[in-house]
Amino acid sequence: MDKNSKKFLLELLNTPSPSGYENDIQRKWMSYVKNFADRVETDIGGNAIAILNPGAKMKVLLAGHCDEIGFIINRIDDNGFIYFGPVGGISHKIASGLKVEILGEKEKIKGVIGVNAEHHGGLKEKFEYEDLYIDCGFKDRKEALKKVRTGDFAVYYTEPMELFNGKISSKGLDDKTGCFIVAEVIKKLSGKKFNAGVYSVSTTSEEIGLQGAYFAAAGIEPSMAIVCDVTFATDYPGVNTSKYGEYKIGGGPVLAKGSPINKKINSLLFKAAEEIKCDVQIELTPKITGTDADRIRFTNRGVPVALVSLPLRYMHSPVETASYSDIEKTIDLICRFILSLTGKENFKPLE
C-alpha cells in the first residue's frame, strides 16, 4: 500500500462516524476521490459517490459503508455523569473502563466510562447500558449541559495501531476499510479504458438498517452491484470453527455464496481471482448477507449483487484487526473484475 493510500485509510479511521454522524468523514472521502473521479456527487441519504466513465450503459455500483457503531447520550444526572445507549450492535460488556469521545455540537469532549473498583465490589456480574456512565470531570449537570446535550453521539477514543506481519488494529475497520477500498478502486482505474461505468459509494447508516444503500441504488439504478464489507475471521482462540467456519486474516478476500448472490457475477469474480493469482475464501449466505447487499438487491426492479468481504477479528470492538494484504488483494480483485467486463453481460440467471 503506497504512502498516500495508507495516510487516507488512517484519516478515515481517525474520523468519528457513528451512524447518523457521517458528514465529516464523507467530506474527507470526497476530497480524496475528486482527484481521480470523473465526477463526485452526493444524495439525499448522505452518501458520497465517485464516478468513472459515467456515459457507459452498464453501471457497476461498488458500496462500502462509512458509518461505525457508537453511542448516543440519553441522560445527564445532577452530578454531571452522562448516561448513554447503543448506536448499532455495540456491546456494553466491553465498555467499562474505556475512553470515549463525545461529539458535541461545538466541540469534542473526552471522557471515561466509569468502572467500580474491585475493592468496592467491582462491576456486578450482570449489567446493562443503564448501569454504565461517562465521567468527563464535570462538577454538576449545569456545567455538563454547557458542553453535552441529549442526542449527542459518542465513540470509543482510540488510535489505529499496526501489529506484526502487516496487520492493523482499530475501531471502525467495520467498515471504513470498505469505503476505503471502493475509493482506491476509483484511484487505480483512473485513466484506464474499460467498458462499464463505475459508481463507488461510501454509504451511510448501514449499522442501523442499511439505510444509505437504498438511496444509493435507487438513485443510480445500477446494472449490478458489489458490496465491500467485513466478515468474521475465526483464526483466534475460543472460536468454534466447526460452527462458524474457518476464515483467516491474510487468507485473501471472502466471497459470499447463497441465495442473495448472483452466480454470474460470482463466476466472473472467481475468474478474475484466478487471473491475478489471488487466493479467496468462501462464506455461505443462504438467506441474507447482513450487509448493504440485502437492501440494494431489492431496489427499483431488482439489482444483481455480489459480496466481497474482508476477514476481520474482534468485530464491533475497539480493537478490530485486519490485514493490509487482504485490503490490497480486494482492491486488485475488483479492479480486475471491472477491467474484464465487456459491458454486454447479462446477469439474468435463466438467460
**DSSP string over 266-296:** HHHHHHHHHHTT---EEEE-SS--SSTHHHH
* Spatial CA neighbour of 135 closest among 123, 145, 124, 144: 144
- As given in the structure block, the three cell numbers for residue 288 are 441474507
Which positions of the chain have pLDDT values less than 70? 120-122
Residue 120, pLDDT score: 67
Catalytic residue among 206, 207, 283, 320: 206
* Separation of alpha carbons 126 and 148, rounded Å: 28
Return the amino acid letter for 180: F
This prediction has a pTM of 0.96
Domain segments of the chain: what residues?
3-68+171-340, 71-156
Strand partners, 305: 225
* Separation of alpha carbons 17 and 203, rounded Å: 12
Residue 122, pLDDT score: 66
Residue 124, pLDDT score: 76
Phi, psi of 301 (to 5 degrees): -90, 10
* Separation of alpha carbons 342 and 61, rounded Å: 16
Contacts of 90 (CB under 8 A, 6+ apart): 69, 70, 71, 316
Q: What is the homologous superfamily of the domain 71-156 according to CATH?
A: Peptidase M42, domain 2 (2.40.30.40)
Question: Rg of the chain over CA atoms, in angstroms?
Answer: 21
Q: Interhelix angle for 3-13 vs 173-189, to 10°?
A: 150
Query: Which CATH class, in words, describes the domain spanning 3-68+171-340?
Result: alpha beta
Strand 281-284: give its sheet, edge to edge: 39-42, 48-52, 197-203, 59-65, 224-232, 305-312, 254-257, 281-284
- As given in the structure block, the three cell numbers for residue 81 are 455523569
Residue 84, pLDDT score: 96
Cis check for the bond before 140: say yes or no (omega within 30 of 0). no
* Separation of alpha carbons 214 and 193, rounded Å: 29
Q: Is 130 marked active-site? A: no
Residue 246, pLDDT score: 96
Strand partners, 282: 255
* Separation of alpha carbons 278 and 251, rounded Å: 9
Q: Are 321 and 237 in contact, with CB atoms under 8 Å apart?
A: no
Residue 126, pLDDT score: 82
Per DSSP, the three-state class of 68 is strand
Tell me, rounded to whole angstroms, the distance of Cα 27 from its chain centroid: 16
* Spatial CA neighbour of 87 closest among 230, 205, 171, 179: 205
* Separation of alpha carbons 213 and 300, rounded Å: 12
Residue 123, pLDDT score: 74
- Report pLDDT digits (tens) over 44-82: 999 999 999 999 999 999 999 999 999 999 999 999 999
